Amino acid sequence: MNKRYKYIINRILWGFVVLWGVSLISFGILHLAPGDPARLLLPATATWEEINNLREILGLNKPLHIQYLVYIRGVIKGDLGTSLFYKKPNLDLIKERLPATLILSIAAILTAILISIPLGLIAGVKQGTFIDVLVMFFAILGQSMSIVWFAIFLVFVFSVKLRLLPSFGYGSFRTLILPTVALAFEQSALITRLTRTGMIDVLSEDYILAIRAKGIKESKVVTRYAFKNVLITVTTIIGLTFAGLMGGQLACETIFVWPGIGSLSISAISQRDFPLVQSIMLVVSAFFVLINLAVDILYTFLDPRLRYD
């Protein structure tokens, strides 16, 4: 027991390290960018006075590490700065758009898992058969297709040609379908492959041979013994999926005009809205750190072989 708690505490501390690293990166964006930070933060029409004023207010004249500490102090207090473009506190903007992103992410992950895991299991059990080939073909397709193109393809087929589903919008279940399918397809491919590999590995283990030799029905072998161990792989997969979603999320939110954090970040970058980009980075990273932590902790309960090092 002791070892487990030590491990969990270790992972939590590690999470803080990662967050610290991210804070450095997001703080550094403004200063890495070529050009004077104050000038970057103001519209092109700003006068010398305005630039100097801003420099004073933001403390840009102080040494870098002081600026960083001020930044961190603000973050801890909950002040993530103000957006240059929207002129609102960044945290508010993020809070506004977060639900949309979460809805899409969760819908996509659930769909991906519900489809892929059974597919992967079946393919693993029936390795080498036609079903396996079919599933693998689908998996390779999913991993090779550009989600950008697939999303637009879906719009073309279901919105333009068949007129069945809306091509953009937010709010109703119908608007959720296409973005979810697009996002889920990409992840499904990976999850299917990993589940299949996991199943194949488990089925070839010695203890499965032993169970079969004992005469236990094949269906029981699969469902009770093999599946339990695949669960461990599956948990990893879920953790990975959240991270992998991100690229697809950006694309889908842009294509389907989904009012989430992804589309917010894209517009923030094109508008050179540094404070907003910084805040989004911090919030999203914190989110991923939490998810990874949750997966790690879940692991300690699922896999008795884990050695906590």
Partner 1 sequence: MKRKSQLFTRLKKSKFFVIGFIISILLIILSIIAPFIVIHDPELPDLDNTLNPPEYFSKGWSGNILGADNLGRDILTRLLIGSRYSFIIAGTAVISAIFLGIIIGLYAGYYGGWIDNLFMRLADIQLSLPSLLLAIAIVAALGPSIPNLIIVLIVTKWPVIARLVRGNVLIIRETEFVSASRVLGASDTWIMFSQILPNILTVIMVVATQLVGHMILIEAVLSFLGLGVQPPIPSWGIMIADGRNYLILAPWIVMAPGIALMITVIAFNFLGDGLRDALDPKMKT
At closest approach, how far in Å is the CB of 139 from partner 1? Answer: 10
Q: Where are the alpha helices (DSSP H) in the chain?
A: 2-32, 37-41, 48-58, 64-77, 90-125, 130-144, 147-154, 173-203, 206-213, 218-220, 227-255, 261-270, 274-302
Give the closest residue to 193 by CA, choosing from 110, 127, 115, 135. Answer: 135
Q: Which is nearer to partner 1, 64 or 140 (CB)?
A: 140
- Rounded distance, CA 197 to CA 5, Å? 31
At closest approach, how far in Å is the CB of 102 from partner 1? Answer: 15
At closest approach, how far in Å is the CB of 18 from partner 1? Answer: 5
Give the closest residue to 179 by CA, choosing from 168, 193, 171, 189. Answer: 168
Q: Which is nearer to partner 1, 202 or 255 (CB)?
A: 255
- Rounded distance, CA 189 to CA 294, Å? 24
Q: Where are the alpha helices (DSSP H) in 260-305?
A: 261-270, 274-302
Q: Which residues contact partner 1 by CB under 8 A?
A: 14, 17-18, 21-22, 25-26, 28-30, 32-34, 140-141, 143-150, 152-153, 155-156, 160, 197, 243-247, 250-251, 254-255, 265-266, 268-270, 272, 274, 277, 281, 284-285, 288-289, 292
One-character DSSP codes across 172-199? SHHHHHHHHHHHHHHHHHHHHHHHHHHH
Q: Which is nearer to partner 1, 141 or 210 (CB)?
A: 141
At closest approach, how far in Å is the CB of 246 from partner 1? Answer: 4
Q: Which is nearer to partner 1, 5 or 156 (CB)?
A: 156
CA distances from 36 to 30, 32, 103, 192, 224 (A): 9, 10, 39, 48, 63
At closest approach, how far in Å is the CB of 149 from partner 1? Answer: 3
Q: Which is nearer to partner 1, 220 or 300 (CB)?
A: 300
At closest approach, how far in Å is the CB of 308 from partner 1? Answer: 16
Find tokens 């072989």 and name the residue.
Answer: 305
**Structure tokens, 271:** 């508008």
Q: 18 burial class (0-12, 13-18, 19+ CB within 10 angstroms)? A: middle
Q: Which is nearer to partner 1, 9 or 218 (CB)?
A: 9
Q: Which is nearer to partner 1, 58 or 277 (CB)?
A: 277
- Rounded distance, CA 227 to CA 290, Å? 27
At closest approach, how far in Å is the CB of 146 from partner 1? Answer: 5
Q: Which is nearer to partner 1, 114 or 269 (CB)?
A: 269
At closest approach, how far in Å is the CB of 185 from partner 1? Answer: 13
